[in-house]
Structure 1
């Protein structure tokens, strides 16, 4: 029986380069032995996610998510909850493309990214699940919350390109006067942290915002999150921590807890109760605390490049 592949692409990603590449991508999929077709996402909410679910339930063997990190996240959310899940491939056409970087997928050529499928190298990858009191959402790269979270996603891509990690320090200095601390209880495999914090990061890969040193021990298939808890600190110390983190020298700092865990329960306590604290999943707001995270080990099989960890 011929295998079927469905390309799910965002037409406005990558400076609207995707539509002109669709025919060539479908040709690559045919070369790989798939009967290929395409779906162009619409502005409708969860367009890519709903199509991913439909295609999976229709028996497609491969879903190719083409677009930015948001499109990839939607396709993952469309299949992660299913008992039978197709393989996935990704074609990065966004600004950061963190997950493509982690999987060793070319980020400078849409067609070269598609040709990774011809190498026939796949790997089963961990998927993160965030349970917001029964509303389950999924992520492939990072979950974050706390007042410093905006730093991870608030720097425009053109500024990052021009200034590198200095852009984050500039953004951090801009944010410092407005930072708040949240009193929280975090329950993870090795213990409980209860008290104020500036930010927590729960990572699936070693790449955040284009930087590869923030989660230095990350593995993609070991069933473990990388957990970073940033304790409260004075503004000068926070700037120092940012500089250390962007260069991978932060994990032994006494104001940071860095560990691995299969799960994490996040609760607001004390004066924070009644306040809404958003949780960011792969760069977008998922929902609000409380939340319980679980690592779904080797949940989805992805095509990877030679350097995919």
Structure 2
């Protein structure tokens, strides 16, 4: 019986290059041994996520997510909660394509990225689960909280498309003088941190916003998050940390807590109680604190590059 594969693609990703590549991608999927079909996402909320769930429940063995990190996140959210999950492949066509970078998928050529499935090399990857008031959401690359994380969703998409990484640097420089601290209780495997902080990152990979040394010890399938807590919000100290982060030396700084954990609980303390503190999942606002995170080890099997 022929295996079925579904291409879920965002037509506006990659400077709207996706539609003209669909036929070639479907042909590659057929060469890989799948009966292939395509779904073009719409403006409906969670369009890719809903189609991923439908395809998985219909018995599709592979879902190919083509678009930016947001499209990939939606497809993951469409299947991560299921008992029987299809394999996934990704075709990057966004601005930073962090997860494609982590999986060694070609990021400059859509057709070449699709050919990764022809090599039949897969790896079961960890998935992050965030629970807000009993409701679960999932992520594959990064969860973040704190005033500095606003730069990931505070940059308009058209500016990100035009300037790439530079857009984040410009936004970060603009925000530094106005950063505020939040008072939180963080409960993780090695203990509890209570106090003020500018930002925390919970990473699945080593790449954030295109920078590859932010989480230098990241593994993709060990069941552990990389937890980074930035305790200072002083602009001068943050600029120094940004410079150190270019080569991974920030993790040893006194203003940083860097550890591994299977779970994390975030609670508001002091003057932060009652605030709507957003939690960013793969570059988009997921929901608001409090939140509990759990690492779902080797939850989804992905096609990976060399």
The alignment's TM-score, normalised by the length of structure 1, stands at 0.95
Structure 2 gap ranges (5+): none
* 2:252 counterpart SS class: coil
CA separation in 2, counterparts of 1:235 and 1:93?
A: 33
CA separation in 1, counterparts of 2:51 and 2:163?
A: 34
* 1:251 counterpart SS class: helix
User: Greater CA deviation, 143-152 or 214-223?
Assistant: 143-152
* 1:140 Cα deviation from its structure 2 partner: 0.3
Q: Which residue of 1 aligns with 2:113?
A: 113
Residues 1:89 and 1:194: Cα distance change in structure 2 (over 3 Å): same
Deviations 1:145-185 (CA, angstroms, capped at 9, x unpaired): 10111234546434445x59xx62x5433212211110000
CA separation in 1, counterparts of 2:85 and 2:74?
A: 14
Runs of 4+ in 1 over 4 A off after TM superposition: 152-156
* 1:245 Cα deviation from its structure 2 partner: 1.7
Q: Which residue of 2 aligns with 1:38?
A: 38
* 1:213 matched to 2:213: yes
* 2:113 counterpart SS class: helix
Residues 1:151 and 1:244: Cα distance change in structure 2 (over 3 Å): farther
CA separation in 2, counterparts of 1:233 and 1:276?
A: 19
Structure 1 gap ranges (5+): none
Q: Which residue of 1 aligns with 2:6?
A: 6
* 1:81 matched to 2:81: yes
Report if aligned partners of 1:172, 1:239 keep a CA contact under 8 Å in 2. no
CA separation in 2, counterparts of 1:46 and 1:171?
A: 27
Report if aligned partners of 2:105, 2:305 keep a CA contact under 8 Å in 1. yes
CA separation in 2, counterparts of 1:233 and 1:140?
A: 27
* 1:73 Cα deviation from its structure 2 partner: 0.3
Report if aligned partners of 2:96, 2:164 keep a CA contact under 8 Å in 1. no
- How big is the alpha-carbon RMSD for the aligned residues of Structure 1 and Structure 2? 1.4
Q: Which residue of 2 aligns with 1:297?
A: 297
Q: Which residue of 2 aligns with 1:234?
A: 234
Q: Which residue of 1 aligns with 2:28?
A: 28
Task: State how 1:40-119 maps to structure 2 within 5 Å.
Answer: 40-119=40-119
Report if aligned partners of 1:152, 1:208 keep a CA contact under 8 Å in 2. no
User: Greater CA deviation, 111-120 or 142-151?
Assistant: 142-151
Q: Which residue of 2 aligns with 1:281?
A: 281
CA separation in 1, counterparts of 2:19 and 2:186?
A: 45
Q: Which residue of 1 aligns with 2:260?
A: 260
Q: Which residue of 2 aligns with 1:151?
A: 151
CA separation in 2, counterparts of 1:93 and 1:172?
A: 24
